Amino acid sequence: MNAVELSHVSKHYLLGAERVAAISDVTLRIRAQRFTVLAGPSGSGKSTLLNLIGCIDRPDAGHLLIGGKTVQDWTDADLTAFRASHIGFIFQNFNLLPVLTAWENVEYPLLLAGTPATERRRRVSEMLDAVGLADKARHRPNQLSGGQCQRVAIARALIHQPQLILADEPTANLDSQTATGIVSLMRDLQKQRHTTFVFSSHDPMLMSHADDLVQIRDGRIGLVAPTMASEPATGTPQ
Ligand SMILES: Nc1ncnc2c1ncn2[C@@H]1O[C@H](COP(=O)(O)OP(=O)(O)O)[C@@H](O)[C@H]1O
Ligand SMILES: [Mg+2]
C-alpha cells in the first residue's frame, strides 16, 4: 500500500522573468507506515517536493495521490481541511508559537479541531510524555534547547494522529548528537503509531535510520531503495 504516489510531477518557480525548474517529471511511490528519507543537497528540490506532498503547493503538471486520493483538483478550502486532519508537519526552525508554553503549542491543533477539554488534557499529557518533555510543559520555546523545541514540534505534529508526517530537514539546526536523538525519537514514534513518516536531510549519518531512501538531485529522483535498517518483507529469506 502506498501512502503517496506521484506520477510525472513537475513544479517550477518564476524568479523575475526566469523560470526555475524545482521538480522535473518526478514519478515516485512512498510506502505507507514506513520511515522514508528524502536525501539530497541544498537546492535539489526537497522542500518543493515535501510541499507538494503536504498539499501546501500544487504541481504544474502530473498526478498526485495522497492516501489514494487525487488531491490536486481539490479547492484550497478542501486542501486546508485535509491537511489539518491527515498531515503533520515538522520544520527545520521548529515553527513553535513563541508566546505559548510547550503544553499550549502541542494542544493548539486540538483546539482548532474542537476537541473537548478533558480529551485534550489526556492527549497532550500522553504526547509530552512520549517525547520525554513531561517536566517541561510550562516552559516557553525560549526557555527550551533546540532539541527540546523540536520534541515539542514533533508532539504537536503527532497530536491529531495524522496518517502522514512530513519533516523538512528537522535536524539541520541541531548538533549531531541531538540530531541523532531526534531521528531515533521520530523512528520510535513512527513504529509505535504506524504512521507514514517522510523526512528530508542532507546528512548521510541520519539516513541509516530510514526504511527507504529516496535520492533527489536537481529536481529529479535518483536511487529509490530500502536501506539496511529496513525490515524485510514477510517471507523473505534471512
Ligand atoms: N520561492 C521560490 N522562488 C524561486 N525559486 C525557488 C523558490 N523556492 C525554491 N526555489 C528554487 O527551486 C530549487 C529547489 O529548491 P528547494 O525545493 O528549496 O530545495 P531544497 O529544499 O532541497 O534545498 C532551487 O533551485 C531553488 O533555488
Ligand atoms: Mg529545503
Report if residue 137 sits inside a domain.
yes
Residue 81: inside a domain: yes
| Ligand 1 atom index nearest CA of 49 | 17
Ligand 1 center to 95 CA (angstroms): 19
Q: Is residue 93 part of a domain?
A: yes
The C-alpha torsion from 169 through 35 and 166 to 159, rounded to 10°, is -120
Provide the pLDDT confidence category of residue 138 given band limits of 50, 70 and 90.
very high
Report how far ligand 1's centroid is from the alpha carbon of 48 (Å). 7
Q: Is the CB of 133 under 6 A from ligand 1?
A: no
Q: Closest ligand 1 atom, CA of 202?
A: 22
Residue 225's pLDDT is: 73
pLDDT score recorded for residue 235: 41
pLDDT score at 234: 47
Q: Identify the pLDDT of residue 230.
A: 62
- Average pLDDT of span 132-152: 97
Identify whether 15 is part of a domain: yes
Q: Rounded to the nearest whole angstrom, what is the distance from the C-alpha of residue 121 to the centroid of ligand 2?
A: 34
Q: What is the pLDDT of residues 53-99, one digit of tens each?
A: 999 999 999 999 998 888 878 899 999 989 988 999 999 999 999 99
- Among the ranges given (28-32, 108-112, 206-210), the one the predictor scored with the smallest mean pLDDT: 206-210
- pLDDT per position as a tens digit, 199-229: 999 887 777 888 999 999 999 998 777 766 6
What's the number of domains the chain is made of? 1
- Sorted by sequence, the CB contacts under 8 Å of residue 37 that are 6+ apart come out as 198, 199, 200, 201, 206, 207, 209, 210, 212, 213, 214, 227
Pocket test for ligand 1, best of 13, 60, 92, 168 (most atoms within 8 A of CB): 13
Ligand 1 atom nearest 169 alpha carbon: 21
Q: Is residue 8 part of a domain?
A: yes
CATH of the domain at 81: 3.40.50.300
What distance in angstroms lies between residue 20's CA and the mean position of ligand 1's atoms? 8
234 in a structural domain: no
What proportion of the chain, given as a percentage, has pLDDT over 70? 95
Residue 50 has pLDDT above 80, yes or no: yes
Neighbours of ion ligand 2 (CB under 5 A): 46-47
How open is the CA angle 122-128-129, to the nearest 5 degrees?
A: 85
Task: With respect to residue 238, please indicate whether it lies within any of the assigned structural domains.
Answer: no
How far apart (Å, rounded) are the C-alpha atoms in residues 166 and 73?
Answer: 21
Question: Is 231 among the domain residues?
Answer: no
Flag whether pLDDT at 191 surpasses 70. Answer: yes
Range(s) of the domain holding residue 158: 2-226
In this prediction, residue 141 has a pLDDT band, given cuts at 50, 70 and 90, of very high
